Structure 1
Amino acid sequence: MSTPVQRAPGDVLVHLRRARDRIDCHYAEPLDLDDLARTAGISKFHFHRLFTATYGRTPAAYLSERRIERAQDLLRATNLTVTEVCHAVGFASLGSFSSRFRQVVGETPKAFQERWGAGAPRIPGCFVLMWGLAERSESASQEKQRPAGDD
């Protein structure tokens, strides 16, 4: 009779990092707990518990923070509207984006854009949106070409 193999803490950390890297690279895509747990190769409840203990925030909070960080970059450097930024970083609702942005940053996205983007040279939003679409379609085609067990 064989006993189940226990993963060493370092081994689990490798799997958690894989999921965190997925969030960092694919923050604008719809990501859910099942998808991230599958990326880590751990049950979703165990994954949630380990991720929260390791990184000090839930996977959803970590994803939200990445999206807000990217939104700050876009609001500072581009001429995109707040609504365009909201959708470009993966939020489905302008209301939830604005609420979360204010909670994390301390001011509304519009106030942030006016304060930090005023007078600075801006990247045209069409370039940013075209680059983002090309980047997403390229990563999607790469994932389709990757063999199934290559994680």
Structure 2
Amino acid sequence: MSIASKTAMGAADRDLKRLRRLLRAKDRMDAAPHEEWPVSRLAQVSGTSPAYFARSFRDAFGIPPHRYLLTRRVERAAALLRDTDLPIIDIAFQTGWNSLGTFGRTFRDVTGESPGELRQRTQATPAELDRVPHCFIRAAQRPDLRMAVSEKRRRKNGDTSGPTETEVP
């Protein structure tokens, strides 16, 4: 075996180990999205430094860890709004927000409608999707967070001041 092929195998092995570490942290976020997951805690779960973890997570999954967690929280909140009659404040606290106002504002920024509007719209329509597999419905309704919520809000309001974030392709 040549030196080049040994080097390539070593690099592939390192990449696989790095991906396993990242997936370990991602699985923890998926299992408990209502918990606080600062980058330092995620880095500890994956056995890396915070800076390396944040950079590697974005490279591997296309979005920063905070946005991934925010996507999961909004997705879970939307499912609870559709499928239960829980009060909106209970859903906000169950999905990891500490404030009803922050939950409502972020939910609207991400989905384009307030939690109450989503609940009213989804519960008013008959069950047309009963025969569609649940995993397809969840994937279709997953929020798209390729840009920061603050950037999205700034663009919507026509504010061009401040730093702009480039979108992930």
Distance in 2 separating the partners of 1:98 and 1:17: 30
Q: State the superposition RMSD in angstroms.
A: 2.0
Aligned match of 1:49: 55
Per the normalisation by structure 2, the TM-score is 0.64
Using the TM superposition, give the Cα deviation of residue 91 of structure 1 relative to its aligned residue in structure 2, in angstroms: 0.8
Alpha-carbon distance, 1:12 to partner: 0.2
Shift of 1:30: 1.9
Q: Where does structure 2 lack aligned partners over 5 or more consecutive residues?
A: 1-9, 128-169
TM-score normalised by structure 1 residue count: 0.72
Superposition deviation, residue 22 in structure 1 = 0.5
Per-residue CA deviation, residues 83-125 of structure 1 (Å, 9 max, x unaligned), is: 111001111121221122112211111100111123779xxxx
Runs of 4+ in 1 over 6 A off after TM superposition: none
Cα offset for 1:80? 1.0
Matched residues in 1 for 2:34 and 2:53: separation?
21
Cα distance in 2, alignment partners of residues 119 and 47 from structure 1: 43
Distance in structure 1 (CA, Å) of the matches to 2:125 and 2:60: 41
The alignment covers a number of residue pairs equal to: 117
Which residue pairs with 1:89 in the alignment?
95
Residue 111 of structure 1 is matched in structure 2 by: 117
Any unmatched runs of 5+ in structure 1? 122-151
Residues 114-129 of structure 1: pairs in structure 2 closer than 5 A: 114-118=120-124
Percent of aligned pairs sharing the same letter: 36
Within 2, Cα distance between the matches of 1:60 and 1:26?
14
Listed as ranges, the matches of 1:1-150 within 5 Å are 8-118=14-124
Which structure has the larger Rg? 2
